[in-house]
Amino acid sequence: MLSREEYIRKSFNNHLFWLRIMKEHAIFIQSAIPPSQRQLAQEAERFKLQFEHLLASAIIQSSGWVSPEVLLANELFTRYTDEAERITQQYTGIQINRNLTNLEADIEPWTAYSNATGRKEQEVSALNRNVLSQLEAFSHFKNSLWNSQVSCRIMTMLYTAVLQHVLHEAEEYIKTVTYLQNRQDPGGDTLENRNFWNNQMSEHAKAVRGLLDPSEAEMFVMADRYGKMFDSLIQDPARDPLEPAIELSEFKETVTRGRIECKIQGIILPLFIDHLLREANHYIRLLQS
């Protein structure tokens, strides 16, 4: 059973990470929809705006409530995020609220003096309920997109496996908030979290492998190696995934920097690879908690 203080802190820790992840999924989906499916792109645009709105609320409400280790983990934004957003907006024409990234830099960490009032608890509970209802809608949208594509009724420029991957992340976020609403700890380094994130890490490596330019042979081999590394961890979750996760994070950082500096080619939006980098950093933090 979480104390009131833990409930508030863990809710914000999770929202600051996951709300950005959700709004970026909306951006990636929108960027990958062909002109024939304009309505779907508009729907993705609405989800982006709604998640940006929720993220703005979470940022404002969370100051003084975020665990210091979360602020230090490079999972909320990285040193590349602002620039990755600028370039991605330029490439896609999709508006990205970069002000949120600047605001995130000023979030104050939780201290023993942060006062867990009943009113703050109610505020957090309302935010959690809002997030949950938005997540239900978004996972419904992702599921129907995946369904349409897997049955070949539409084709987007996202792999079918990537559509399913982002659906799984929405479901994981729903699970996390549901735990919190039941005053249960969503956990750090648990078998359940390892199973989920080892799978995500493997899929990231394979997605990057497939999005690199055919001329990037060396990077392709590295991405493939990480995919296999995490496949073997999926088979054996008792093995410590911390070192492989750190290595994969470093690889993603190299690709992020390479895309921003135009030293790596491929059909990878800079914000897409920065997003994968943050998810690896989030996993590393869970493994270290």
Q: Give least dist CB 25 to Fe ion, A.
A: 6
Name the one range near Fe ion by CB under 5 A: 97-105, 129-137, 162-170, 182-190. Answer: 162-170
Q: Give least dist CB 8 to Fe ion, A.
A: 25
If one asks whether residue 198 binds Fe ion (CB under 5 A), the answer comes out as no
Q: Give least dist CB 276 to Fe ion, A.
A: 6
H-helix or E-strand spanning residue 218: helix 217-235
Name the one range near Fe ion by CB under 5 A: 13-21, 121-129, 181-189, 263-271. Answer: 13-21
If one asks whether residue 253 binds Fe ion (CB under 5 A), the answer comes out as no
Tell me how crowded residue 244 is: count the other CB atoms within 10 A of its CB: 19
Q: CA angle 255-97-126, nearest 5°?
A: 110
**Rounded to an integer, what is the distance from CA 21 to the centroid of its chain?**
3
Q: CA angle 199-254-206, nearest 5°?
A: 30
- Which pair of structure tokens corresponds to residue 240? 């410590």
Distance CA 144, CA 149 (A): 9
Nearest CB to Fe ion, comparing residues 8 and 277: 277
Q: Give least dist CB 48 to Fe ion, A.
A: 14
Nearest CB to Fe ion, comparing residues 29 and 40: 29
Distance CA 265, CA 286 (A): 32
Nearest CB to Fe ion, comparing residues 21 and 76: 21
Percent helix, strand, coil in the chain (nearest 5)?
75, 0, 25
Name the one range near Fe ion by CB under 5 A: 27-35, 182-190, 221-229, 275-283. Answer: 275-283
Q: According to CB under 5 A, which one of 101, 260, 279, 280 is a site residue for Fe ion?
A: 279
Query: What are phi and psi for residue 109, nearest 5 degrees?
Result: -75, 160
Chain residues 164-183 in contact with Fe ion, contact rule CB under 5 A: 169
Tell me how crowded residue 35 is: count the other CB atoms within 10 A of its CB: 6
Nearest CB to Fe ion, comparing residues 65 and 283: 283
Q: Give least dist CB 111 to Fe ion, A.
A: 31
If one asks whether residue 200 binds Fe ion (CB under 5 A), the answer comes out as yes
Q: Which of 50, 58, 5 shows the shortest CA–CA distance to 180?
A: 5
Nearest CB to Fe ion, comparing residues 10 and 23: 23
Q: Which of 135, 207, 139, 205 shows the shortest CA–CA distance to 177?
A: 135
Query: Strands (DSSP E) along the chain, which ranges?
Result: none
- Tokens 């997109």 found at: 145
Distance CA 156, CA 148 (A): 10
Q: Give least dist CB 207 to Fe ion, A.
A: 8
Q: Give least dist CB 6 to Fe ion, A.
A: 26
Q: Give least dist CB 2 to Fe ion, A.
A: 26
Binding site for Fe ion (CB under 5 A): 21, 169, 200, 279
